[in-house]
Protein backbone atom coordinates (compact mmCIF):
# COMPACT_ATOMS: atom_id res chain seq x y z
CA UNK A 1 0.00 0.00 0.00
CA UNK A 2 1.35 3.46 -0.86
CA UNK A 3 1.78 6.14 1.79
CA UNK A 4 -1.11 8.11 0.29
CA UNK A 5 -3.35 5.03 0.47
CA UNK A 6 -2.43 4.62 4.14
CA UNK A 7 -3.20 8.29 4.76
CA UNK A 8 -6.56 7.93 3.08
CA UNK A 9 -7.33 4.78 5.05
CA UNK A 10 -6.56 6.44 8.38
CA UNK A 11 -8.59 9.52 7.43
CA UNK A 12 -11.62 7.31 6.79
CA UNK A 13 -11.02 5.53 10.11
CA UNK A 14 -10.96 8.93 11.85
CA UNK A 15 -14.31 9.78 10.36
CA UNK A 16 -15.82 6.58 11.81
CA UNK A 17 -14.08 7.29 15.13
CA UNK A 18 -15.50 10.78 15.55
CA UNK A 19 -18.98 10.02 14.14
CA UNK A 20 -20.51 9.61 17.62
CA UNK A 21 -19.31 13.17 18.51
CA UNK A 22 -21.15 14.76 15.58
CA UNK A 23 -24.31 16.67 16.56
CA UNK A 24 -26.18 19.48 14.82
CA UNK A 25 -24.53 22.02 17.19
CA UNK A 26 -21.03 20.46 17.19
CA UNK A 27 -18.00 22.34 15.94
CA UNK A 28 -14.89 20.30 15.29
CA UNK A 29 -11.24 21.26 15.00
CA UNK A 30 -9.45 20.35 11.81
CA UNK A 31 -5.69 20.13 11.27
CA UNK A 32 -3.38 20.80 8.38
CA UNK A 33 -1.41 18.69 5.93
CA UNK A 34 -1.96 15.93 3.41
CA UNK A 35 -3.45 13.46 5.92
CA UNK A 36 -5.75 16.14 7.27
CA UNK A 37 -6.75 16.93 3.67
CA UNK A 38 -7.90 13.34 3.16
CA UNK A 39 -9.90 13.71 6.37
CA UNK A 40 -11.51 16.97 5.20
CA UNK A 41 -12.51 15.36 1.90
CA UNK A 42 -14.10 12.44 3.77
CA UNK A 43 -15.77 14.77 6.30
CA UNK A 44 -17.63 16.50 3.49
CA UNK A 45 -19.94 13.47 3.23
CA UNK A 46 -21.19 14.17 6.77
CA UNK A 47 -21.39 17.96 6.52
CA UNK A 48 -25.07 18.09 7.42
CA UNK A 49 -24.45 16.16 10.66
CA UNK A 50 -22.51 18.96 12.43
CA UNK A 51 -22.47 22.74 12.58
CA UNK A 52 -19.01 23.56 11.27
CA UNK A 53 -15.29 23.58 11.91
CA UNK A 54 -12.41 25.62 13.27
CA UNK A 55 -9.41 25.45 10.95
CA UNK A 56 -5.76 25.30 12.01
CA UNK A 57 -4.56 27.12 8.86
CA UNK A 58 -5.74 29.26 5.97
CA UNK A 59 -5.23 26.29 3.62
CA UNK A 60 -7.49 24.09 5.74
CA UNK A 61 -10.12 26.83 6.00
CA UNK A 62 -10.15 27.15 2.23
CA UNK A 63 -10.50 23.40 1.71
CA UNK A 64 -13.31 23.17 4.27
CA UNK A 65 -15.19 26.05 2.63
CA UNK A 66 -14.67 24.44 -0.76
CA UNK A 67 -16.72 21.51 0.53
CA UNK A 68 -19.43 23.82 1.88
CA UNK A 69 -18.40 23.33 5.53
CA UNK A 70 -18.78 26.51 7.57
CA UNK A 71 -15.56 27.74 9.17
CA UNK A 72 -15.77 29.49 12.55
CA UNK A 73 -13.30 31.85 14.19
CA UNK A 74 -11.94 30.21 17.34
CA UNK A 75 -12.93 33.31 19.31
CA UNK A 76 -16.58 32.47 18.67
CA UNK A 77 -16.20 28.98 20.14
CA UNK A 78 -15.59 27.97 23.76
CA UNK A 79 -14.89 24.29 23.28
CA UNK A 80 -14.42 21.82 20.47
CA UNK A 81 -15.70 18.27 20.83
CA UNK A 82 -12.77 16.86 18.91
CA UNK A 83 -9.65 17.90 17.01
CA UNK A 84 -8.33 15.72 14.17
CA UNK A 85 -4.86 16.25 12.74
CA UNK A 86 -1.81 14.48 11.35
CA UNK A 87 1.75 14.56 12.70
CA UNK A 88 5.34 14.22 11.56
CA UNK A 89 6.31 11.86 14.40
CA UNK A 90 4.46 10.12 17.23
CA UNK A 91 5.99 8.20 20.15
CA UNK A 92 4.50 5.61 22.51
CA UNK A 93 3.25 8.28 24.91
CA UNK A 94 1.38 9.86 21.96
CA UNK A 95 3.67 12.87 22.15
CA UNK A 96 4.14 14.39 18.74
CA UNK A 97 6.30 16.46 16.49
CA UNK A 98 4.16 18.64 14.26
CA UNK A 99 4.69 21.61 12.01
CA UNK A 100 6.17 20.08 8.88
CA UNK A 101 3.56 22.16 7.06
CA UNK A 102 4.32 25.22 9.18
CA UNK A 103 0.92 25.40 10.91
CA UNK A 104 2.14 24.34 14.36
CA UNK A 105 1.03 27.38 16.37
CA UNK A 106 -2.58 27.43 15.20
CA UNK A 107 -2.64 23.64 15.47
CA UNK A 108 -1.50 23.85 19.08
CA UNK A 109 -4.06 26.53 19.89
CA UNK A 110 -6.93 24.59 18.33
CA UNK A 111 -5.83 21.33 19.98
CA UNK A 112 -5.72 23.10 23.36
CA UNK A 113 -9.46 23.78 23.35
CA UNK A 114 -10.52 20.35 22.10
CA UNK A 115 -11.98 17.80 24.49
CA UNK A 116 -10.31 15.02 22.49
CA UNK A 117 -7.34 15.10 20.11
CA UNK A 118 -7.38 12.31 17.52
CA UNK A 119 -4.06 12.11 15.69
CA UNK A 120 -3.99 10.32 12.34
CA UNK A 121 -0.73 8.99 10.92
CA UNK A 122 0.66 6.29 8.68
CA UNK A 123 3.15 3.84 10.17
CA UNK A 124 6.19 5.78 8.89
CA UNK A 125 5.47 8.40 11.59
CA UNK A 126 5.65 6.04 14.61
CA UNK A 127 9.00 6.37 16.43
CA UNK A 128 10.64 5.21 19.66
CA UNK A 129 12.25 8.61 20.26
CA UNK A 130 11.18 11.97 18.86
CA UNK A 131 13.70 14.09 17.02
CA UNK A 132 14.80 12.39 13.81
CA UNK A 133 12.29 14.67 12.07
CA UNK A 134 13.67 18.23 12.37
CA UNK A 135 11.64 20.02 15.03
CA UNK A 136 9.86 23.11 13.63
CA UNK A 137 9.99 26.23 15.80
CA UNK A 138 7.94 29.32 14.90
CA UNK A 139 9.88 32.49 15.61
CA UNK A 140 9.29 36.24 15.34
CA UNK A 141 11.26 37.37 12.26
CA UNK A 142 13.33 39.94 14.22
CA UNK A 143 14.46 37.24 16.68
CA UNK A 144 15.66 34.73 14.08
CA UNK A 145 19.38 34.98 14.91
CA UNK A 146 19.07 35.32 18.68
CA UNK A 147 16.70 32.35 18.87
CA UNK A 148 18.98 30.31 16.61
CA UNK A 149 21.90 30.97 19.00
CA UNK A 150 19.81 29.94 22.01
CA UNK A 151 18.72 26.72 20.27
CA UNK A 152 22.33 25.93 19.37
CA UNK A 153 23.21 26.33 23.06
CA UNK A 154 20.57 23.67 23.82
CA UNK A 155 22.34 21.26 21.44
CA UNK A 156 20.20 21.63 18.31
CA UNK A 157 21.16 22.74 14.82
CA UNK A 158 18.55 25.25 13.63
CA UNK A 159 18.06 25.66 9.89
CA UNK A 160 16.06 28.63 8.62
CA UNK A 161 13.15 27.52 6.39
CA UNK A 162 13.92 30.07 3.68
CA UNK A 163 11.12 31.62 1.69
CA UNK A 164 8.38 30.51 4.06
CA UNK A 165 6.22 32.69 6.30
CA UNK A 166 3.58 31.18 8.56
CA UNK A 167 -0.08 32.25 8.50
CA UNK A 168 0.89 34.43 11.48
CA UNK A 169 3.65 36.23 9.54
CA UNK A 170 6.51 34.52 11.36
CA UNK A 171 9.46 32.38 10.24
CA UNK A 172 10.27 28.74 10.96
CA UNK A 173 13.55 27.30 12.23
CA UNK A 174 13.79 23.52 11.70
CA UNK A 175 15.94 22.09 14.47
CA UNK A 176 18.08 19.09 13.56
CA UNK A 177 20.08 16.82 15.82
CA UNK A 178 17.82 16.64 18.86
CA UNK A 179 17.22 13.28 20.57
CA UNK A 180 14.21 14.17 22.63
CA UNK A 181 14.06 11.84 25.62
CA UNK A 182 11.97 14.23 27.71
CA UNK A 183 9.57 15.93 25.32
CA UNK A 184 7.68 17.95 27.95
CA UNK A 185 10.92 19.46 29.27
CA UNK A 186 12.20 20.25 25.77
CA UNK A 187 8.85 21.80 24.81
CA UNK A 188 9.07 24.11 27.84
CA UNK A 189 12.73 25.00 27.31
CA UNK A 190 12.16 26.00 23.70
CA UNK A 191 9.01 27.96 24.51
CA UNK A 192 10.96 29.88 27.15
CA UNK A 193 13.36 31.34 24.59
CA UNK A 194 12.38 34.96 24.02
CA UNK A 195 11.18 35.36 20.44
CA UNK A 196 9.84 31.81 20.09
CA UNK A 197 6.12 31.82 19.33
CA UNK A 198 5.78 28.09 19.82
CA UNK A 199 7.49 24.84 18.93
CA UNK A 200 6.24 21.71 17.24
CA UNK A 201 6.42 19.43 20.27
CA UNK A 202 2.96 18.37 21.36
CA UNK A 203 3.84 16.85 24.72
CA UNK A 204 2.08 19.05 27.27
CA UNK A 205 -1.01 18.49 25.18
CA UNK A 206 -0.34 15.16 23.51
CA UNK A 207 -2.83 13.21 21.44
CA UNK A 208 -5.55 11.31 23.28
CA UNK A 209 -5.91 8.73 20.55
CA UNK A 210 -3.52 7.75 17.76
CA UNK A 211 -5.00 6.11 14.69
CA UNK A 212 -2.06 4.40 13.00
CA UNK A 213 -2.43 3.14 9.44
CA UNK A 214 -0.41 -0.01 8.73
CA UNK A 215 -0.50 -2.44 5.84
CA UNK A 216 -2.48 -4.76 8.19
CA UNK A 217 -5.12 -2.11 8.86
CA UNK A 218 -5.64 0.84 11.17
CA UNK A 219 -4.62 0.42 14.83
CA UNK A 220 -6.23 2.49 17.58
CA UNK A 221 -3.72 3.44 20.26
CA UNK A 222 -4.19 5.21 23.56
CA UNK A 223 -1.94 5.51 26.59
CA UNK A 224 -2.44 3.69 29.85
CA UNK A 225 -0.49 4.82 32.88
CA UNK A 226 1.74 2.22 34.48
CA UNK A 227 2.55 2.36 38.22
CA UNK A 228 5.88 3.95 37.23
CA UNK A 229 3.90 6.73 35.63
CA UNK A 230 5.03 6.16 32.08
CA UNK A 231 2.65 5.38 29.28
CA UNK A 232 2.34 2.34 27.08
CA UNK A 233 0.37 1.60 23.99
CA UNK A 234 -2.49 -0.74 24.40
C1 LIG B 1 1.36 20.64 9.57
C2 LIG B 1 1.48 19.41 10.36
C3 LIG B 1 1.10 18.12 9.71
O4 LIG B 1 0.15 17.49 10.49
C5 LIG B 1 2.31 17.26 9.57
O6 LIG B 1 3.32 17.98 8.90
C7 LIG B 1 1.99 15.96 8.83
O8 LIG B 1 1.69 16.27 7.50
P9 LIG B 1 1.23 15.17 6.46
O10 LIG B 1 -0.09 14.68 6.90
O11 LIG B 1 1.20 15.93 5.15
O12 LIG B 1 2.28 14.07 6.44
O13 LIG B 1 1.86 19.40 11.51
O14 LIG B 1 1.86 21.77 10.26
- CB of 33 closer than 6 angstroms to any ligand 1 atom: yes
Is the pLDDT at 228 greater than 70? The verdict is no
pLDDT tier at 224 (50, 70, 90 boundaries)? confident
- CB of 116 closer than 6 angstroms to any ligand 1 atom: no
- Annotation marks residue 107 as catalytic: yes
For the whole model, what pTM was predicted? 0.95
- Average pLDDT of the chain is 95
pLDDT by residue (tens digit) across 50-102?
Answer: 999 999 999 999 999 999 999 999 999 999 999 999 999 999 999 999 999 99
- CA pair distance 230, 187, nearest whole angstrom: 18
Q: How many other CB atoms are there within 10 angstroms of residue 124's CB atom?
A: 11
Catalytic residue among 89, 107, 138, 187: 107
- CB of 125 closer than 6 angstroms to any ligand 1 atom: no
Buried b (16+ CB within 10 A) or exposed e, 86-120: bbbbbbbbbbbbbbbbbbbbbbbebbeebebbbbb
Amino acid sequence: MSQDELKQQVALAALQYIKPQLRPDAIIGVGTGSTANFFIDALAALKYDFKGAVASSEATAERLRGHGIEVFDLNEVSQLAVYVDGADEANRQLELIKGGGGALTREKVVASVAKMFVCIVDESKAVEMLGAFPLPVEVLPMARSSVARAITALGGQPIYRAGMLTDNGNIILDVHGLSISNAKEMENKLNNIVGVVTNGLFAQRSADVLLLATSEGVKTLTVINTPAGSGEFY
